[in-house]
Amino acid sequence: MSNEINKKKIAILGSTGSIGTQALEIAREQSDKIEIEVLTANSNADLLIKQAIEFKPNHVVIADESKYLYVKDALGQKDIKVFAGSKAIADLMEITSADIILTAMVGYSGLLPTIKAIENKKKIALANKETLVVAGELITELCIENKVSLIPVDSEHSAIFQCLVGEDLNTLDKIILTASGGPFRGKKREDLLAITKKEALKHPNWNMGAKITIDSATLMNKGLEVIEAKWLFGVENNQIEVVVHPQSIIHSMVEFNDGSIKAQMGLPDMKLPIHYAFFYPERTKSSFKRMSFKEINNLTFEEPDLETFRNLALAYEAMKIGGNKACILNAANEIAVAAFLEDKIKFLQIAEINEACMNKVFFIQKPSLDDYINTDSEARRFAKTLIQ
């Protein structure tokens, strides 16, 4: 009985995606320590049903309302409450008994559920970087107001978080985010004119969903991480540096005022930061493959190419300007990446559409939540007009 009481109760928002499925692998391995309370998915009803039958959560949400009856009928004999629609995911944050909310939804869709979870004083394991990119100032204020912890799940931010545990933040000089460089590292713009979707989806180190894989290929993912780091760690713009590290063994570093640098290392496996976030501040034994220095004999570093990979430069610009600029950039990028994956635009047009939207969509210096919502809608609308 006491073991059941001590279990971590976890809600996984986006359980059928790459992060969500890996989180459930951990829940399966640590079944004596983890209980799944909530599972949500966008449209992958079949996998959601399979997960629900195995993990027996109290609540399940399918965002695609057209698949509600299909999911409800499949789970009809189970003691599981089934809901539909994106609003239901946010509303569920008010009633769930989950201790930890893993926000692994793709893109902007994770913003409102995260806000609701924070308002209901739930600990957040944040895998949805767009939440802080779009509304970092608002989220930060809400976390302080509600005394809520944000534990980052991105491998880079988890690395920084781990390096800073026990340190005086006033002694922090610089955050160094590492980037693999993606599949096109070392190439110039002329080399990328005819890049195909198949080529862009071949990440050299990480196994991720399609959207984040394309973002990694354009270095937008690293740009979003730069903005996220600003809000997660309360640093100034000039304290965030990106370095290309093709081997993806050092996940990120921090430099202190005495010149000392701490790095967090490990194999490129997203289960490591997910596992850490679930059990923080404790470390719990896992069965993950261990890194061997006998097999790793070459760690290299280089500067990112901001001219070829324009998206990273745009992210730095959005962070510097502030206001709703990052919200504009994120919304435009989601539309542009979706268009590229549908073969409607070319690879280099992703950054061109992002830059055009940043220049044209209305700027607000001190946006409210409604302003963020309206900005997101307007940026998406304008981005679509640029896609033929």
Q: Which pLDDT band, with edges at 50, 70 and 90, does 109 fall under?
A: confident
Whether residue 77 is predicted with pLDDT greater than 70 in this model: the reply is: yes
Q: Indicate the pLDDT class of residue 2, thresholds 50, 70 and 90.
A: very low
User: Which contacts (CB < 8 Å, 24+ apart) does range 83-86 have?
Assistant: 83/59, 85/61, 86/112
- Is residue 156 over pLDDT 70? yes
**What does pLDDT average to over the chain?**
93
> Could you tell me the pTM of the whole model?
0.90
* Segment 122-138, tens digit of pLDDT: 999 999 888 898 888 89
Residue 207's pLDDT band (cuts 50, 70, 90): low
3-state secondary structure 216-261: HHHCHHHHHHHHHHHHHHCCCHHHEEEEECCCCCEEEEEEECCCCE
Quick one: which H or E segment has residue 122? none
Q: Indicate whether 208 pLDDT > 80.
A: no
Percent of the residues in the chain that have a pLDDT greater than 70, as a whole number? 97
CATH class of 2-152: alpha beta
Q: Would you list the domain boundaries of the chain?
A: 2-152, 157-315, 322-388
**Structure tokens, 297:** 């004999």
Answer yes or no: is pLDDT of 10 > 60: yes
Nearest-angstrom CA–CA distance, 291 and 270:
14
Is the pLDDT assigned to residue 1 strictly greater than 50?
Answer: no
Give the pLDDT score at 89: 94
Residues 6+ away with beta carbon under 8 Å from 151: 123, 124, 125, 126, 158, 161, 276, 277, 280
Query: Is residue 52 pLDDT above 90, yes or no?
Result: yes
CA dist list (Å): 283 to 92, 97, 143, 168, 275:
29, 24, 24, 21, 9
Report the range of poorest mean pLDDT among 8-17, 18-27, 205-214, 259-268: 205-214
What's residue 211's pLDDT? 87
Mean pLDDT to the nearest integer, 96-123: 91
Residue 134: per-residue pLDDT: 85
Q: Is the pLDDT of residue 322 over 50?
A: yes
pLDDT at 206: 62
Q: What is the pLDDT of residues 273-291, one digit of tens each?
A: 999 999 999 999 988 999 9
| Res. 107 pLDDT band, cuts 50 70 90 | confident
Q: Would you place residue 4 in the very low, low, confident or very high pLDDT band (cuts 50, 70, 90)?
A: low
CATH number of the structural domain 322-388: 1.10.1740.10
Can you tell me the mean pLDDT for 130-150? 91
pLDDT band for position 43 (cuts 50, 70, 90)? very high
The mean per-residue pLDDT over the stretch 226-240 comes to 94
